[in-house]
Chains A and B, each alone.
Chain A
Amino acid sequence: MMRMRRPSAAFWLVLPAMLLMGVFFVLPIVASLLLSFTDFDLYALARWDHLRLIGFENYRHLFTDPLFFRALTNTFYFVALGAPLSILASLFFALLINQRMVCGQGFFRTVFFLPVVTTLVAVAVVWRYLYHPRSGLLNYVLSLLGIEPMDWLGDPDWAMPSLIIMAVWKNFGFNMVIFIAGLKSIPRRLYEAAEVDGAGAFDQFRSITLPLLAPTFVFVVIVTLIGYFQLFAEPYVMTQGGPSGRTLSIALLMFEEGFRWWNLGYAAAISFVLFLIILSGTLIQMCVRRLL
């Protein structure tokens, strides 16, 4: 009796969540793949018989589209510079806050975490103003140091680094909290034992903290990579992808092709490539984790 009843209860408990996820996530993903083999665009939106099946044409075009290449390079640049910076900053501050001698640990944790919970569009308003070439505070501070004013968001070479600085400021608290938790789970007696053996602070860090923090580290790397590859709101609000397309990200290109020009087929191909990139990035991390 019991065995008959329980599965059916489980079924009903799980059903709503699975149904919602199936209909509003899995189904669209599959549809997106199908969409990427069509030339669904505004013409097709107006009349269904303007829709053509075009096989791999969208993907073929992707690899000859200079704009896609630009978006690809920009995104990798953002990830390659932003992710390590963000992770190092969070690790650094996690280690610092976690020192027993630091007072006000809770205060610092809260302060550093605050940017994480705030709305990106809202903080972009401030940062855009801080970066303003003439009236921005950043250039004012630089001028006090005798440095020429810079056009942060308007200079092709500086626009992406400017977005990275803002992104690191906004995100590092997230990983920091996870690192702190990871550090706290390391038994204190290990350090005490090492101290008895006469190991210095650096030796302790290398032989205890690092190896025991490895799982947390891999998790943080995966989450950060997934997040950073999806770069969208920062360039959308701050630079609209400019100057000369130097802050155009893959997700922004997908948005532009899909929801600005309504080339839905092409945009679906872009979103799929983004998916594949993130997937392979995660798989690589998983392998690394196995090895550790």
Chain B
Amino acid sequence: MKPLNGGRLLAHVILLMAALFTLFPFFWMVSVSLMTVEDMALFPPPLTPVHPTLKHYQVLFDELAMGRYLLNSTLIAAGVTMSSLFINSMAGYAFAKLHFRGRDGLFRLLLAMMVIPSQAAMLPLFLMIKQLGLINTYAGIIIPGMSSVFGIFLIRQYLKSVPDSLLDAARIDGAGEFRIYRSLILPLSKPVLVSLAVFTFMGSWNDFMWPLIILTQEDRYTLPVALANLMGEHVQDPQLMMAGAVLTILPVVLLFLLLQRYYLEGLVAGGVKD
């Protein structure tokens, strides 16, 4: 243990203050969501509820179909995650380990596409989804999100470090590429798949603009869309909105805290090693 000198103390004080500042909105969110109307009328506003109540959560589920939105968000995020793991890992494997004509050119093209803001594609995409009859369906959100450049990139980076000799041994044993993919590559890339899964799930859970456009009926709303709707309707009930906010972020926060090692590793792999 090093001695507690001035610089060291200062660093810790700054970090602790910043941590408090960072966490405060979350604390406040939970706190207000448990307050009664009377608590809210107090000035200065109390930091913790005087008469804690779960009433607002109850209202959300009983009167505002929060359970339905939770289900929608979960199904959509799970759908996007599952299909993107499958599709991106196949492509990532091919880009990392198989030789085909135009591979590197195609890959560079994909990377360049990351610069294009998704908004640039949205208008025609809407018309397309409409032609397919997928407005106001889960599929209208899941299908355009099924493959991502980032996902392919992440898998490819990871698989690059797998020695070719391992694959060649399998090939000599007569295994086809699909067999290799299924029984060798998939088990090998477990950690990166988890990274990608967490990434995709959170991205999809937090996505706002596209579901806002595609989902026209309340019973299909995802949590963020429902919450934005709630903000328009219940401006006078901050507690209710806070409760909705808590429910919206709770799953992603838990997921992150449980799997943060994979999440951060994936992020760093995508960010630094290119």
A152 → chain B, closest Cβ, in Å?
Answer: 14
Give A175 to B43 CA distance when docked, in angstroms.
Answer: 38
- State which size class the interface on B falls in: 35 or more
Q: Which applies to chain B's interface (DSSP): helix, strand, loop or mixed?
A: helix
**Contacts A32-B120, A126-B242; A18 near B91 (Cβ below 8 A):** yes
Tell me whether B90 is interfacial, beta carbon within 8 Å. Answer: yes
- State which size class the interface on A falls in: 35 or more
Give A125 to B177 CA distance when docked, in angstroms.
Answer: 50
For residue A5, which residues in chain B have a CB less than 8 angstroms away from its CB? Answer: 176-177
B90 → chain A, closest Cβ, in Å?
Answer: 4
Q: Which of A235-260 contact B (CB under 8 A)?
A: 236-237, 251, 254-255, 258-259
Closest to B274 in A: A219
Q: Which of B32, B146, B245, B274 contacts A123 (CB 8 A)?
A: B245
Q: Are the C-beta atoms of B227 and A9 separated by less than 8 Å? A: no
Tell me whether B163 is interfacial, beta carbon within 8 Å. Answer: no
Q: Are the C-beta atoms of B23 and A275 separated by less than 8 Å? A: no
Tell me whether A191 is interfacial, beta carbon within 8 Å. Answer: no
Q: What string of 1s and 0s marks CB contacts (under 8 Å) between B233-268 and chain A?
A: 000001001101110110011011100100110011
| Of B7-15, B50-58, B59-67, B186-194, the one touching chain A | B7-15
Tell me whether B202 is interfacial, beta carbon within 8 Å. Answer: yes
Q: Which of B45, B122, B249 contacts A135 (CB 8 A)?
A: B45
For residue A112, which residues in chain B have a CB less than 8 angstroms away from its CB? Answer: 18-19, 22
Closest to B224 in A: A121
Q: Are the C-beta atoms of B224 and A120 separated by less than 8 Å? A: yes
Tell me whether B70 is interfacial, beta carbon within 8 Å. Answer: no
Q: Are the C-beta atoms of A126 and B28 separated by less than 8 Å? A: yes
Q: Which of A122, A219, A230 contacts B271 (CB 8 A)?
A: A219
Q: Are the C-beta atoms of A35 and B123 separated by less than 8 Å? A: yes
Q: Are the C-beta atoms of B44 and A17 separated by less than 8 Å? A: no
Tell me whether A67 is interfacial, beta carbon within 8 Å. Answer: no
Q: Which of B26, B117, B213, B272 contacts A274 (CB 8 A)?
A: B117
Give A18 to B8 CA distance when docked, in angstroms.
Answer: 52
B110 → chain A, closest Cβ, in Å?
Answer: 8
Give A102 to B268 CA distance when docked, in angstroms.
Answer: 21
Q: Are the C-beta atoms of A129 and B238 separated by less than 8 Å? A: yes
Give A178 to B272 CA distance when docked, in angstroms.
Answer: 7
Give A110 to B274 CA distance when docked, in angstroms.
Answer: 24
Q: Are the C-beta atoms of B19 and A111 separated by less than 8 Å? A: yes
Closest to A232 in B: B209
For residue A118, which residues in chain B have a CB less than 8 angstroms away from its CB? Answer: 26, 206, 249, 252-253
A-to-B contact residues, CB < 8 Å: 2, 5-7, 9-14, 16-18, 20-21, 24-29, 31-32, 35, 93, 96-97, 99, 101-103, 107-115, 117-130, 135, 137, 140, 169, 173-174, 177-178, 181-182, 185, 216, 219-220, 223, 226, 229-230, 232-233, 236-237, 251, 254-255, 258-259, 264, 267-268, 271-272, 274-275, 278-279, 282
B-to-A contact residues, CB < 8 Å: 2, 7-8, 11-12, 14-15, 18-19, 21-23, 25-26, 28-29, 32, 40, 43-45, 87-88, 90-91, 93-95, 98-101, 103, 106, 110, 113-128, 143-144, 146-147, 149, 152, 171, 176-178, 181, 202, 205-206, 208-209, 213, 223-225, 227-228, 231, 238, 241-242, 244-246, 248-249, 252-253, 255-257, 260, 263-264, 267-268, 271-272, 274
